[in-house]
Chains A and B, each alone.
Chain A
Amino acid sequence: MTKSEIQDYQTVFLVGPPNSGKTSLFNSLTGKSFKTVNYPGATVEYYESTFHEKFDIDAIVIDSPGIISLSPSSIDEKIAIEALFNHPIHGLPDLLIVTIDVNQLSRHLYLAKQLIEAGFNIVIAATMTDVLRKNGCNINLNRLSQSLRTDVVEIDPRTGEGVKELVELIKTKTTNLITIPQINVIEKYKNDQYLIETYKQIEEIENNTIFETDDIKNKENVESANNELQILNTSVFIRRKRKIDSLTLKLDKFFLHPYWGLLIFFLIMALTFTSIFWFAVPIMDFVDLVFSLSSDYARTLIDNVWLSSLISDGIISGLGAVFIFVPQIMILFLILGLLEDTGYLARGAMLVDRPLSAIGLNGRSFVPLLSGYACAIPAILSTRTIPNKRERFLTIFIIPLMSCSARLPVYALLIAFLLPKDDLWIGGIILAAIYIFSLFSSVVAAIIANRFNKKIIKEEDNSSFILELPSYRIPQFAVAIKQTFNNVLVYIKQAGPIIVVFSIIIWALTFFPDYDPVIENSDILTEEQIQILKSTERFENSFASEMGKFIQPIMLPLGLDWKAGVSILTAFAAREVFVSSMALIYKVTDDEDEAIRKSLINSMRKAKIEGSNQSVFTMASTIGLIIFFVFALQCFTTVAIVKKETGSWRLPFYQLIVYSVAAYILAFITVNGLRFLGIP
């Protein structure tokens, strides 16, 4: 049977253990035209691309997730492994390129051996030979090729060396002949004795192919050097050949030091964190400006009132709410990608595994939790690297408590309200206190959720932390940028439609019934003041305010009125929408030409609960509102993503109930506790 009878294109799969240079190779083979695809019906993703045009091959390259063997340790791995044997979209692979790091030859050959045994058409790409040579050893690739009975090419994807030779080999090896790999080879390896035997065979191959360069200097050629060394005590010999990169060992003395290790870790994280805010804020201001200008411009273009309002207030503002977070997400993932590429991130996960496992999490939960400080959406997606389901679900459970960037504008407004003058120092301290409080709350939430594991998480699994610590390397920007781009795309695709749709719904609720108010004394007011009075009047008569009046009894115990209640409800589209809703609801005409936030704060000070003389926003109720925002899960995108990632409504349902109730009760206790203490 020939492949062309079934499919008219060739497929080349990249397979290899983590840290074997697979991703770098994918980059140098493909150029920029890659795309991310989900396996049908699964959350697992893979990259696929055509070859870079300079190679002149008409085939598709597929990069699957790194695996150490054909026996899966998680559901994601199972899907990736089964796809090797029969890809749901591309069918049988024409060729597998198996990457192996020659410095870890025996461990990486284990997967290669299994694949060869399964009957795949294989080319082995040997990477990081330069590191091996630097450490005084070398490898005889001809021998390796003979022992494995498959082609072996030496490559350095970072410099592009050997990639051309690999491509030539791919051309000759992707003939039209199909080999059908046997998946039942996995069964054999379930026998521990078979596994150990395989490793013994691999050690023999390792013994015959890797040699110390010092020895050749004294011998005539490699052959005799190897023959003689066979007689030596193999275990001593092997030990000398399997040297760990000396720079890595030196660096680990610092990075994994009993005292300095943790300190360096916290410094790196603090630096990562502050740089997100430093670099992102000016870009975010710019994005904000672009969208508010285009919103204003769109309004002037269309005469039809409701259509122009839909486009500028509903759609463009909604898009603005989506794109405002792109800078932070981008910077966070760029830094994380670079840190991962250096090899440090694995060490960070190891350092915090002990404290995190004490509250039922895993060292691998750390990166997702950190990402949660930018945005919960990519953070929840990145929990896929946690193999244990219970720990993964628990991590997802507490991610909404991480103080995401959408809360920042809300806190900024409320803190500015609390402080009489623009006191940046105290404001910063209050903000830091909120962040620390949210971190503390998430620890408590994890402990409680872990206690009620049977109800909330409903997963039991072997808790495990086995992780390779790769050698330190200089990070590659190209790889980090590719991953960053991918994460941003995922965020826009997942969160974008939901935020825009909710933005339109909320617009409709505040716009209809299309009420055209009559403004008195319009002759003494400016055009702008009339516009503002009109939109406030409109709002007072909208469906949203009808709904708001309905929830007034719920808001009163928190010291708030229905207007604040409506703003909180609209914040379910995205938390920062709270600020623009407040601006819409409370905006009053001011003579002075003030910034929006300032005039909003002024009108917040004047706001009274209807039918009484009591101020809505007091010290107590504002602090209560901050507490509310720390806990409340006001983000429909998060709910949708959690449902998608966990495969059921149970976890997002629990999150929504638990966090909403907690937010309400804790805000209630805060407000009334403060009032009891005499704080208004």
Chain B
Amino acid sequence: MKTAADLTFGEKGIINSIDLSHPSSRRILEIGFTPGQEIELITRTAFNDPLAFSLRGSIIAMRKNEAASIKVI
């Protein structure tokens, strides 16, 4: 399944699930990345890692490997 790390600049996705085996998964859930939420990749920086997403009216940056634990549709 596609993950948040696979989104391209400006692409939106709806969160399907969070991979709970990732050590950061609780933090990711708590900060508001819950199933059903829409996210959008809003940055493309020089190294393209970390990535920044718009979520619930905020901008949240996280590393690519952390974003990969967010499954989107």
Q: Would you call A655 an interface residue if the criterion is a C-beta within 8 Å of the partner chain's C-beta atoms?
A: no
Residues on A with C-beta less than 8 A from B8 are none
What would 17 A/B residue contacts be, using CB atoms closer than 8 Å?
A69-B30, A103-B57, A106-B32, A195-B29, A200-B34, A243-B57, A244-B57, A244-B59, A252-B43, A252-B59, A256-B43, A258-B45, A259-B46, A261-B46, A351-B45, A353-B49, A468-B58
1/0 per residue, CB under 8 A from A, across B38-52: the answer is 100011111111101
Q: Is the CB of A464 within 8 A of B60?
A: no
Q: Is the CB of B20 within 8 A of A192?
A: yes
1/0 per residue, CB under 8 A from A, across B2-41: the answer is 0000000000000000001001101111111011101000
The main secondary structure of chain B at its interface with chain A is loop
Q: Which residues of B contact A (CB under 8 A)?
A: 20, 23-24, 26-32, 34-36, 38, 42-50, 52, 54-63, 66
Q: Is the CB of A248 within 8 A of B62?
A: no
Within 8 A of B (CB), among A443-483: 462, 464-470
Q: Is the CB of B23 within 8 A of A464?
A: yes
Q: Report the nearest B residue to A241, measured CB to CB.
A: B57
Residues on B with C-beta less than 8 A from A353 are 49-50, 63
Q: Would you call A242 an interface residue if the criterion is a C-beta within 8 Å of the partner chain's C-beta atoms?
A: yes
Contact of A71 among B26, B35, B42 (CB under 8 A): B26
Q: Is the CB of A465 within 8 A of B62?
A: yes
1/0 per residue, CB under 8 A from B, across A95-119: the answer is 0000000011111001000000000
Q: Is the CB of A107 within 8 A of B59?
A: no
Contact of B57 among A69, A71, A104, A354 (CB under 8 A): A104
Q: Would you call A73 an interface residue if the criterion is a C-beta within 8 Å of the partner chain's C-beta atoms?
A: yes
Q: A71-B26, A469-B60 are in contact. Are A110 and B32 (CB under 8 A)?
A: yes
* Alpha-carbon separation in the docked complex, A308 to B34 (Å): 70
Q: Is the CB of B50 within 8 A of A68?
A: no
Residues on B with C-beta less than 8 A from A556 are none
Residues on A with C-beta less than 8 A from B23 are 462, 464
Contact of B56 among A106, A357, A465 (CB under 8 A): A106
Q: Is the CB of A363 within 8 A of B30?
A: no
Most interface-central of B38, B45, B48 (chain A CB within 10 A): B45
Determine how close the nearest CB of chain B comes to the CB of A203; give it in whole angstroms: 8
Q: Report the nearest A residue to B9, measured CB to CB.
A: A258
Residues on A with C-beta less than 8 A from B61 are 346, 350, 465-469
Residues on A with C-beta less than 8 A from B20 are 192
* Alpha-carbon separation in the docked complex, A568 to B29 (Å): 54
Q: Is the CB of A110 within 8 A of B59?
A: no
Q: A192-B20, A351-B45, A468-B58 are in contact. Are A107 and B31 (CB under 8 A)?
A: yes
